[in-house]
Amino acid sequence: MGADSTAVESAVGAVVDPELDLPIGRLGMLREVRARRRRVGISLGLPLGGWPGTDDLAARVKAAAEGVAGVEEASVEIGIMDDDERAALRSELRSVMEGASDASSDPAPSDEPSTAQPGGGHGDHTHGDHTHAGHSHGAPAESPMPALLRAGARTRVVGVSSGKGGVGKSSVTVNLALALAAAGKRVGVLDADVYGFSVPGMIGAEREPIILGDLVVPTLARGVRCLSMGFFVPDDQPVIWRGPMLHKAIQQLLFDAYWGEPDFLLIDMPPGTGDVTLSLAEVAPRAEVVVVTTPQPAAQRVAQRSAFAARKLKLPVRGVIENMSWFTGDDGVRYELFGRGGGQALAADLGVPLLGQVPLVPELREGGDTGKPIVALDPDGEASAAFAALASRLVSMGPGRVYRRELAIR
């Protein structure tokens, strides 16, 4: 008995693309299955040249085809989508973002290149052999709020906040994300620190996000999706924007990005209580907030302001993370270099739990500079154990409830 092309198409169409985490049949990547006796030829159309994970995808497709009864040998041919196929893909991804089960019937935006970046950024970028001129909103109307930000979504949006810089907020965000991923959660990280972006370098991202017309696919780095203004502007170029431009940038990084359906979306917020915090409250009304501080009382008092700001904006503060809590010397003794008690005192003042304490480890700081986070570099070490416990505590808490006065029944 020869190969059944329908059975092969069903098996191959169910293979999940590792980059977009959806079946290739749904994504329109499966172009054709040709069966001749016990041999099949499979034609795939990938969105762009240099598509991440191409070899892995081809191997999965080949294995799926050869697992079908009657197939002895399968070959896989890789091609690049044309404009119409890419438009259909974008439409499907938009439908997923909006919570639809089927592809949207609305026409997809044009693939014409744009000269704008999120919030008005700059410059051209290249992915593989595909050159794009930045990222713009593109569509005539604003994109709808993605399903992951709406009430009832499975995604927990957690803003990681601090009252001031220098407390290790970004390194906490990155390592917490990796700890959550290690616990089997799907995780995304949005670097909303527009002026002081650092997440791409800290997490060790090796490539830029993928741009599909007016849609951006956040970079996968160490199993975590991440997106940052750091991908769109040079490291040495300052971002000098007023509030409205910041708001637009944050909105686009959330509304025009294909995050999939993560369990957690961590947002690395800028220190203080400025425009980005206001924007987050507006575009992500379900967001929870955790506050990072260090043990000394001075840091505690400053961190308290960011917590109070979140509460004024009706964002629930779920807990406190104390960073740089102690240093363990070669003699096994814990040295409290920055004092003690600041995290616990802040948690008590706010009426929330102290979610965890993270020790001061030289490799933790070095990892942030070299793109080798401590959770990935030393998964069995003291700091990694602290992040694993922190991740477990955050998961066990469950999502916070947001009570809006304007929604109260009168």
- The pLDDT > 70 percentage for the chain reads 82
- In what helix (H) or strand (E) does residue 62 lie, and over which residues does it extend? helix 54-66
For 156, the token pair is 């927990």
**pLDDT of the residue at 152:** 87
CATH number of 5-80: 3.30.300.130
Phi, psi of 86 (to 5 degrees): -65, -35
Query: Looking at the predicted structure, is the pLDDT value of residue 288 above 70?
Result: yes
Mean pLDDT of 7-12: 96
Pairing between β-strand 39-46 and β-strand 30-36 as defined by DSSP bridges? antiparallel
pLDDT interval class at 234 (50, 70, 90): low
For 18, the token pair is 């590792």
Query: Tokens 């927990």, residue?
Result: 156
**pLDDT of the residue at 297:** 75
Instruction: Spell out the residues 6+ positions from residue 264 whose beta carbon is closer than 8 angstroms to its own.
Output: 155, 156, 157, 158, 177, 180, 185, 186, 187, 188, 394
Per the DSSP assignment, residues forming a β-bridge with 39 are: 36, 73
**pLDDT of the residue at 243:** 60
Q: Report the C-alpha gap between 233 and 119 in whole angstroms.
A: 11
pTM, two decimal places: 0.82
| Residue 309 DSSP code | H
Query: 147-407: which CATH topology?
Result: Rossmann fold (3.40.50)
Query: Looking at the predicted structure, is the pLDDT value of residue 240 above 70?
Result: no
Which carries the bigger pLDDT value, residue 173 or residue 134? 173
CB atoms within 10 A of CB 327: 15
Query: Looking at the predicted structure, is the pLDDT value of residue 405 above 70?
Result: no
**pLDDT of the residue at 141:** 56
pLDDT digits (tens, 9 = 90+) for 194-220: 766 788 889 999 899 999 999 999 999
Domain boundaries, the chain: 5-80, 147-407
Query: Looking at the predicted structure, is the pLDDT value of residue 7 above 60?
Result: yes
pLDDT interval class at 112 (50, 70, 90): very low
For 388, the token pair is 């694993």
Instruction: Spell out the residues 6+ positions from residue 230 whose beta carbon is closer than 8 angstroms to its own.
Output: 191, 197, 198, 199, 200, 201
pLDDT digits (tens, 9 = 90+) for 44-77: 999 999 999 999 999 999 999 999 999 999 999 9
Q: Are 286 and 157 in contact (CB under 8 A)?
A: yes
DSSP letters along 227-252, please? Answer: EEGGGTS-TT------HHHHHHHHHH
pLDDT interval class at 117 (50, 70, 90): very low
Nearest 5°: the CA angle 43, 48, 53 is 75
Pairing between β-strand 210-212 and β-strand 215-217 as defined by DSSP bridges? antiparallel
Q: Report the C-alpha gap between 198 and 161 in whole angstroms.
A: 15
For 37, the token pair is 């006796």
Strand ranges (DSSP E) for 192-325? 210-212, 215-217, 219-221, 224-228, 264-268, 288-293, 317-323
Q: Are 252 and 121 in contact (CB under 8 A)?
A: no
For 109, the token pair is 């935006």
Which carries the bigger pLDDT value, residue 187 or residue 331? 187
